[in-house]
């Protein structure tokens, strides 16, 4: 499969979902129609357990699977970075689960309790404080690994991280400040949240494209194989038959 074609398809789907979300929010706040047969909530990118949430979780899961494939290939090659590829795979698997069943947001209440009752400004969504700390720790942990990657892969990884973190944390800081002053039930906040989710989706799509290119550049062909014995004849053959599904 061509990584550029995959990126175009995923990017088009993400763009259509964002357009549908914006249309729903304009309908809600400008026309006063906050349901429209449930479609407003169904397409709002900042709502939980709806179509955009499912799409975002699926993107993260695809990235996790690709990372696991690379980790398996690296293990066969006895590559010293196999552990880091595996950690990335588990990290994206966690984020896919978190997208469907938000876990990180539950950190806001205890962190806010530690900060006191005063205005929090950009830290209104207080989970971003431990979130920033995690990002800094992971940056230090993966820094050498990042510079061992080919230049093209390294640049694309950094671009993907910038987009994703810029949305997940950067826009969350902006949205937190605005929400503290004006609340979340207004058109401006919904547009801030839309930009946030759009950047996150863009970051993961760029990352998926980078992973596919990395696999294509470093491995001629990747197959999942199912080996089985010929049980019909009741004989064990000297060589096993196999079925393969080409994924790259």
Q: How far apart are CA 95 and CA 103, in angstroms?
A: 9
**Mean pLDDT of the residues in the chain:** 88
pLDDT at 127 over 60: yes
pLDDT tens for residues 41-59?
A: 999 999 988 999 999 999 9
Q: What DSSP string describes 43-106? A: H-TTSSSSHHHHHHHHHHHHHHHHHHHHHHHHHHTT-TTHHHHHHHHHHHHHHHHHHHS--GGG
Q: How far apart are CA 161 and CA 176, in angstroms?
A: 21
CB atoms near residue 150 (< 10 Å): 12
Backbone angles phi, psi at 227, to 5 degrees: -90, 140
* Residue 222: per-residue pLDDT: 61
Per-residue CA distances from 127 to 105, 108, 120, 186 (Å) = 6, 4, 12, 22
pLDDT at 233 over 80: no
Domain positions in the chain: 3-222
CB atoms near residue 106 (< 10 Å): 9
Locate all alpha helices (DSSP H) within the chain, ordered by sequence. Answer: 3-30, 39-43, 51-76, 82-100, 108-115, 128-148, 151-165, 172-182, 187-218
Q: Is 136 left (phi over 0), alpha (psi -120 to 50) or beta?
A: alpha
pTM: 0.87
Mean pLDDT of the region 109-124: 86
* Residue 241: per-residue pLDDT: 42
pLDDT tens for residues 219-232?
A: 866 654 544 444 44
Q: How far apart are CA 24 and CA 142, in angstroms?
A: 40
């Amino acid at each position: 499969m061509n990584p550029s074609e995959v990126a175009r398809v995923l990017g088009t789907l993400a763009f259509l979902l964002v357009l549908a979300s914006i249309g729903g929010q304009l309908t809600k706040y400008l026309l006063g129609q906050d349901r429209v047969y449930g479609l407003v909530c169904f397409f709002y990118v900042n709502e939980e357990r709806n179509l955009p949430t499912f799409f975002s979780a699926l993107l993260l899961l695809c990235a996790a699977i690709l990372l696991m494939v690379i980790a398996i290939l690296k293990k066969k090659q006895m590559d010293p970075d196999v552990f880091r590829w595996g950690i990335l795979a588990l990290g994206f698997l966690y984020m896919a689960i978190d997208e469907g069943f938000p876990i990180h947001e539950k950190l806001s209440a205890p962190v806010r309790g530690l900060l006191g009752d005063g205005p929090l400004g950009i830290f209104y969504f207080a989970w971003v404080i431990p979130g920033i700390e995690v990002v800094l720790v992971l940056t230090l942990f993966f820094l050498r690994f990042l510079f061992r990657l080919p230049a093209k892969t390294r640049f694309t990884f950094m671009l993907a991280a910038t987009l994703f973190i810029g949305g997940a944390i950067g826009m969350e800081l902006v949205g937190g400040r605005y929400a503290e002053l004006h609340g979340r039930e207004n058109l401006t906040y919904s547009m801030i949240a839309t930009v946030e989710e759009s950047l996150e989706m863009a970051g993961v799509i760029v990352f998926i494209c980078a992973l596919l290119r990395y696999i294509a550049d470093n491995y001629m062909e990747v197959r999942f194989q199912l080996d089985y014995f010929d049980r019909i004849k009741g004989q064990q053959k000297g060589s096993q038959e196999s079925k393969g599904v080409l994924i790259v």
